Amino acid sequence: MNENKRSVQVGIFIFLGIVIFIVGVLFLGGQQKRFIKSIEVAAVFDDVGGLKVGNNVWFSGVKIGTVRAIHFYGKSQVEVSMNIEKEAQQYIHKDAEAAISSEGFIGNKIVVIGGGSPQIATVEDGDILRAKTVLGTDQIMETLQENNKNLLKITTDFKGLVSKIARGKGTVGAVLTDSLLAEEFRATVMHLQKAAQNAERLSGSLSSYAGKLQTKGTLANELVTDTSVFAGIRSSVAQLKKTATTAQEIAGKASEAVSKANAASNNFAAASEKLTRSDNAIGTLLNDPQAAADLKTTLKYLGTSSKKLDEDLEAAQHNFLLRGFFKKKAKREAKAAKDSLEQKTP
């Protein structure tokens, strides 16, 4: 009986072990998608960032497969083979991109696949997806470290700037620490307030004036509302413009006449000035007594010479050598005078 009881217990333990083993195999197989129909696709990356075989493959935040194998490709690249569920094949297209990411900020590495364009055909077994380069954790940490350095430098500079302002250095420091500037700023604000009050009073005055414009019977209201008054004012303004134009023309003509008179006066003054100088004939005759006396003597000599010339000519006429010439000339002149008289007589 004891041996049979021991055999039963051993059998139960063996059965439970087998059940646990089968459940574990099924569980692990389910996690690794071992018992689900799948296709194999691949992607070539420059850096997988610590990706391992068995890591998950996600699509739109849903696990659709696992990493099947990782091996080197070419000179420095890495090819990652993935098992993708058959049911997810219809959502993944040939132009889809695969990228290395992580589960959370510091979780396990995973492969994230984008869907691609709906008008492109879906992936097939053995296709190679395009790889998309994303910032890794190390690169993000390097960027954060660089940003921390820049932030530290900025805060240091800002601290120095605030310290200088507190000590009254620079324009801003002088404005903040100088009491005289503060008083001037306060006075400026008071002037601005007074200006605002004046503007408010001016606005009230304008409102009052606008109200008066609407009061019937006043000149301002008639100017605004009565078209006949406005037409009369327009006609008066037009006549004033014409009068001003005429006056301007008269003034222009008067100015021209004055200019001509000034020119004539200047010419007369110039002539008068020449008469007073001795650098011309008339001025010499008027101002130089010796020249006047010489002129008189010359005229006297000319008169005497003319008289003598007449006497010589008369004597030449009575000369026997020229007497015939002058007689013939006298006859010709007498005949010409007679012919002219006969032609004039009808």
The full set of domain ranges for the chain reads: 36-134, 136-177
What integer pLDDT is reported at residue 43 of this predicted model? 93
What residue type is assigned to position 227 of the chain?
T
For 61-87, what is each residue's pLDDT tens digit?
888 888 999 999 888 899 999 998 888
Task: Give CA–CA dist 8/3, Å, rounded.
Answer: 9
Mean pLDDT for all residues in the chain: 75
For 329-339, what is each residue's pLDDT tens digit?
777 777 777 77
Backbone dihedral angles phi then psi of residue 318, each to the nearest 5 degrees: -85, 0
Average pLDDT of the segment spanning 127-151: 80
Structure tokens at 61: 């935040």
**Residue 118: which of 85, 153, 94, 143 has the closest Cα?**
94
Contact of 79 with 73, CB cutoff 8 Å: yes
For 207-258, what is each residue's pLDDT tens digit?
776 776 667 666 566 665 666 656 666 777 777 788 778 777 876 776 776 6
pTM of this prediction? 0.36
Contact of 57 with 64, CB cutoff 8 Å: yes
What integer pLDDT is reported at residue 208 of this predicted model? 74
Query: What is 38-101 written as a DSSP string?
Result: EEEEEEEES--TT--TT-EEEETTEEEEEEEEEEEETTTEEEEEEEEEGGGGGG-BTT-EEEEE
